[in-house]
Amino acid sequence: MAEALQQQEMEDGDQPDATDEDSQSDERSESELDPERARRRAAALAHVRTFGDPVLKSKARPVERFDEALRAEIAHMGALMHDGMGIGLAATQLGVLHRVLVYRVQQEAPIATLVNPVLDWKGSEQEIGEEGCLSLPGVHVDVERPVHVRVSAQDERGDPIVVEASGLEARVIQHEVDHLDGVLILDRTSREQRKQAIRTLREAQQRA
């Protein structure tokens, strides 16, 4: 998910593991990617804000102008998500405080866009799943979320849309909406997993 949210998007012929997500990722080591794919992934991830950046804890503002600039922003987000091998990305992860997210849970599906998304309904059934995040590299934690949701939003031209999602799609959407509200998966996991995740992130920052 980021959010999206990240289960790593697989190469052609591979299928994503439904238990991972940006929302989420079993990160494939760079050595397993061909050099061009690895280069594109690294270039995309360089645009993504990571742990410690205050924008990740900021709440995005509603989009009011549906113009070519917005559509260019959405296209850029989709390209970065694809190259970064994520399945979800929120605008805040790129330092843009717009209520915009993109996602794709099936490799062959078109990239979906939700502008000004609102979670209108969440089902009572809950499920715990492992989530990762492009903004929290190397971290995977357990997060409990509703299995079924309904979301109202707008498309890139401002037309109203409604999405009823279940399973992985619902998880990815919730993960990315959290990003737009300044909420990270670290805020939704257990205290023990949060402490270990922060330790992992700080160690990685020190090595860098």
pLDDT in tens, 171-205: 999 999 999 999 999 999 999 999 999 999 999 88
Active site residue 36: no
Domain assignment of residue 62, yes or no: yes
**Structural domain contains residue 4:** no
State both tokens at 92.
Answer: 């805040």
- Of 79 and 10, more confident: 79
In a domain, 117, yes or no: yes
Phi, psi at residue 177, to the nearest 5°? -65, -40
Check whether 13 has a pLDDT greater than 90: no
The pLDDT of residue 118 is above 50: yes
Q: How far apart are CA 139 and CA 205, in angstroms?
A: 13
| Residue 102: inside a domain | yes
Q: What is the pLDDT averaged over residues 50-60? A: 97
Answer whether 0.85 is exceeded by the pTM: yes
User: What confidence score (pLDDT) does residue 8 get?
Assistant: 36
Inside any domain, residue 36: yes
Confidence of residue 1 (pLDDT cuts 50, 70, 90): low
pLDDT, greater one: 106 or 166: 166
Residue 11 lies in a domain: no
Residue 3 in any domain: the answer is no
101, with CB counted inside 10 A (0-12, 13-18, 19+), is buried
Selected catalytic residue, list 9, 156, 169, 176 = 176
Query: Is residue 11 a contact partner of residue 113, using CB atoms and an 8 Å limit?
Result: no
**For residue 173, is it within any domain?**
yes
What stretch of H or E contains 168?
helix 167-180
The domain tally of the chain equals 1
At 111, which CATH number? Answer: 3.90.45.10
- Give the domain range for residue 172: 30-207
